[in-house]
Structure 1
């Protein structure tokens, strides 16, 4: 999906292969004020622990 999103040219930054259940060392604290996820926190995808 990141490859498809990249084709639109409307995003400043896209990252593929992110493990949301672990640390995101490439992002500094307080980099973003908000994030939006759709269809991510569901059975077989990212568990609730990924919300940390």
Structure 2
């Protein structure tokens, strides 16, 4: 076999490392997680602000 060429090595590295295929289910799951996390953070934020204002 012949040695690897630079363009072939770059293409292999790009394919294996940088180019990750994200499935639609992963995108939706991330969105749901992020929205849930933001909702929980908002509840605690409001609780803290309410506690600071009433004391």
> TM-score range, shorter-chain basis?
under 0.3
TM-score (norm: length of structure 1)? 0.22
Structure of greater relative contact order (alpha carbons < 8 Å, 6+ residues apart): 1
TM-score (norm: length of structure 2)? 0.21
The structure having more radius of gyration, on CA atoms, is: 2
Q: Which has the higher helix share?
A: 2
